[in-house]
Amino acid sequence: MSNPISENDGPVTTEIRLDGANCSLCFNDTARSLMAQPGVLAVNGSIGEQCFRIDHDESVADDRLLSIVSEHLHGDDRSSWEHKMVAVDATVAQMHCTHGHHTPGSAGGGPGHV
């Protein structure tokens, strides 16, 4: 669910819950892919809290953000000695994702934190 930051035609914030996300490389790749989208102003998140917080303009639909997450983010499931990539259940939610308050456009904080 998007939450308007202002009542004008200003930016909105969308929080996405990432059930099953445990691959920090996929997490960071997904954050970069989200940030590369026109209209996305900032991407913050935590693999530990399994969430992204995305600030964007109103032209960016939640469905588009979920599509990017579903395309790029995976979980790592171990079956005996083998690793296999599995889908992550990404949903829009009001979580109050608090990690990674960085300058818009920056990605930092080490693996799993953007």
Segment 20-35 mean pLDDT? 92
Q: Which stretches within 52-105 are classed as H helix?
A: 62-72
Predicted local distance difference test score (pLDDT) of residue 92: 78
Helix (H, G, I), strand (E, B) or coil at 40: strand
The two three-digit tokens of residue 40, written as one number: 């996305």
With beta carbons less than 8 A apart as the criterion, state whether 2 and 92 touch: yes
pTM beyond 0.75: no
Write out the two tokens for 31.
Answer: 């954050």
5's tokens: 């930051």
pLDDT in tens, 70-81: 999 888 776 656
* Residue 11 reports pLDDT greater than 70: yes
Q: Please, what are the domains in the chain?
A: 2-92 (3.30.70.100)
- At 37-86, the pLDDT tens digits run 999 999 999 988 989 999 999 999 999 999 999 999 888 776 656 655 56
